[in-house]
Amino acid sequence: MGNRAVIRTNENTIGVYLHWNGGRDTIEPVLAFCKASGYRCPEDDCYGWAYLCTVLGCFFGDGMHFGIDVIERLETDNCDNGTYIIEGWEIVGREFVSEGFKEQSEYNFGGMLEDINERMPVHMRLSVKDMRDAINNHEMKESGK
């Protein structure tokens, strides 16, 4: 049993599988960290996938919580959080979420973003300003502005 999810792009060829922390309350801050860091996106080239996996690896620590593979070999219909479709470091779609699914909201966006930032090597951490901007952008998006 886990809290599984897959992250993929519209190209639907490669994906990242998470066994734990697959809720939107973790995925959105991870993506926001990548965006605020100015990383190239996975839909642009393979470096985007490498950046995403670097952030996940630093966050989880032991590397045993996620994997990357061709989409056909990943558990996209995982009975947990399904599959997130991303573009420009934003969630633009969702697949394999069952009817009546209740979105996990255990983690506060800003707190999770801070946790991710603290686990990154010092030279890869966001500045206070970049953290504040990422949190403000998320709040504006949530409020519909």
Number of Cβ within a 10 Å radius of residue 105: 10
pLDDT tier, 102 (very low <50, low <70, confident <90, very high otherwise) = very high
Using the predicted structure, report yes or no on whether residue 64 has a pLDDT greater than 80.
Answer: no
The number of distinct structural domains making up the chain is: 1
Residue 144, pLDDT score: 82
Using the predicted structure, report yes or no on whether residue 140 has a pLDDT greater than 80.
Answer: yes
Distance of CA 73 to CAs 16, 68, 76, 111, Å? Answer: 11, 9, 9, 33
Using the predicted structure, report yes or no on whether residue 117 has a pLDDT greater than 70.
Answer: yes
Q: DSSP character for 104?
A: -
Name the strands in the sheet holding 5-9, side by side, starting at the edge strand that comes first in the sequence: 66-70, 14-18, 5-9, 83-87, 90-95
Residue 126, pLDDT score: 98
pLDDT tier, 145 (very low <50, low <70, confident <90, very high otherwise) = low
Using the predicted structure, report yes or no on whether residue 107 has a pLDDT greater than 80.
Answer: yes
As a whole number, the mean pLDDT across the chain is 94
pLDDT tier, 63 (very low <50, low <70, confident <90, very high otherwise) = low
Residue 100, pLDDT score: 84
pLDDT tier, 62 (very low <50, low <70, confident <90, very high otherwise) = confident
pTM of this prediction?
A: 0.95
- Domain containing residue 42: 5-143
pLDDT tier, 120 (very low <50, low <70, confident <90, very high otherwise) = very high
